[in-house]
Amino acid sequence: MLGIDLGSNTLRAVEMNECFKAIKEAEFVIGAARDLSKSKEISQEAIERLKNALKELENQGFELKNAYAVATAAFRKANNTEAIFKELKQEFGVNFRLISADEEARLSVLGMKNALKNLNFVEKNLAFCDLGGASCELSFKNFSQSFDFGIISFYEKAKANFKFSQNTNLSTFNTRYFLKNNTDKKLKLEFLLKDKFLKHLAFEAFKQSDEALQKLKHFQGRVVVLNSGVPTSVAALKKGITYQNYQARLINGTFLRQNDFLHFALKLSKMSKAQADFWVGKDRSHFLIAGAFLLFALFDRQKLVVVDEGLREGVCIAAQN
């Protein structure tokens, strides 16, 4: 069975057997959420990248007509989604289904739980976090919510507001706000970050993720499961795995700490473009840095485990149950 997750940044496909283990998989950067907040439409450039990705999937032997294909946040927001899906159906025979934020979270958790099962992971009281290009889904016990920030939407919003960045330092923040939570993290950022935009981006991450942070405080467990591009990229770089040599099995079950996201952002920000493209993929570094700051702001002392399974696997599992 073939599952396709058309997200706000990437298209991810996986072919699974009847035991829900991956036979082959593929991933392509689409960038559907880029400039979406301004234009309210998926750009023509993103549509072309999407078509090229589907052509490559065909070339690799994926049967698109039989796919369980879903699309998420960027396509929920775009005005031209229906026209795009109609065109893709005619050209490739693939039938994309637009799913709600609630269904996205449910299916993504199914995929993450499947990965944990294959890893013989024994912890039961878990939270799940899926940070995408235009939204972030957080789930635990009977709680599930989609938050209106993702690595692309957040980066573009912060960049648009950069005219205020010259004031982004300790004196910028109301003392009560600054001391309320995670003061040590903010102090660390204040002293570590010298680049004005980087500092602006880091502090904006606290504002954007605050609602999700408040919800996470109700989670009584200690382990959070992470998937999506930021934590998998952090795990890969930490292990010395380049973008071209990336394999999910090499990072599934990797444990991270909150500070790993800060170290990743700092390390990536100091790389040349050529180095960054080599390690994390072409033109991805600025979005990944933004996402790393979001996750640094969101988590504290939780034990973080990374899996590279989620929505695409979840749609396969749900279709067979």
- Residues 130, 35 share a domain: no
Assign 192 a pLDDT band (cuts: 50, 70, 90): confident
Measured CA to CA, the distance from residue 243 to residue 270 in angstroms comes to: 18
List the one residue out of 29, 129, 42 whose CA is nearest residue 77. 42
Asked if 20 and 114 count as a contact pair (C-beta separation under 8 A), the reply is: yes
- The torsion angles phi and psi of 12, rounded to 5 degrees, stand at -125, 130
As for how many domains the chain has, the answer is 2
Q: How much is the average pLDDT of 78-84?
A: 96
Question: Is 174 a residue whose pLDDT tops 50?
Answer: no
Tell me which DSSP letter residue 139 carries: E
- Residues 49, 125 share a domain: no
Between the two ends of the chain, the Cα-to-Cα distance in Å is 13
CATH code at position 233: 3.30.420.150
Assigned domain for 224 exists: yes
Using one digit for the tens of pLDDT, what is the confidence trace for 130-155?
999 999 999 999 899 999 999 999 99
Domain of 36?
A: 2-99
- Residues 259, 178 share a domain: yes
- Residues 205, 144 share a domain: yes
Assigned domain for 321 exists: no
- Residues 178, 80 share a domain: no
pTM comes to 0.87
Output the pLDDT for position 312: 94
Choosing from 66, 99, 132, the residue where a domain stops is: 99
Strand order from edge to edge, sheet including 143-147 = 143-147, 136-140, 126-131, 223-227, 303-306, 254-256
Ramachandran sector of residue 35 (left: φ over 0; alpha: ψ -120 to 50; beta: rest) = left
Tell me which of 73-77, 116-120, 170-174, 288-292 is least confident: 170-174
Output the pLDDT for position 284: 93
- Residues 126, 79 share a domain: no
Question: Is 41 a residue whose pLDDT tops 60?
Answer: yes
Q: What is the DSSP string of 195-264?
A: SHHHHHHHHHHHHHHHHHHHHHTT---SEEEEESHHHHHHHHHHTT--STT--HHHHTTEEE-HHHHHHH
Measured CA to CA, the distance from residue 120 to residue 208 in angstroms comes to: 35
- Residues 229, 202 share a domain: yes
Question: Is 280 a residue whose pLDDT tops 80?
Answer: yes
Assigned domain for 195 exists: yes
- Residues 107, 175 share a domain: yes
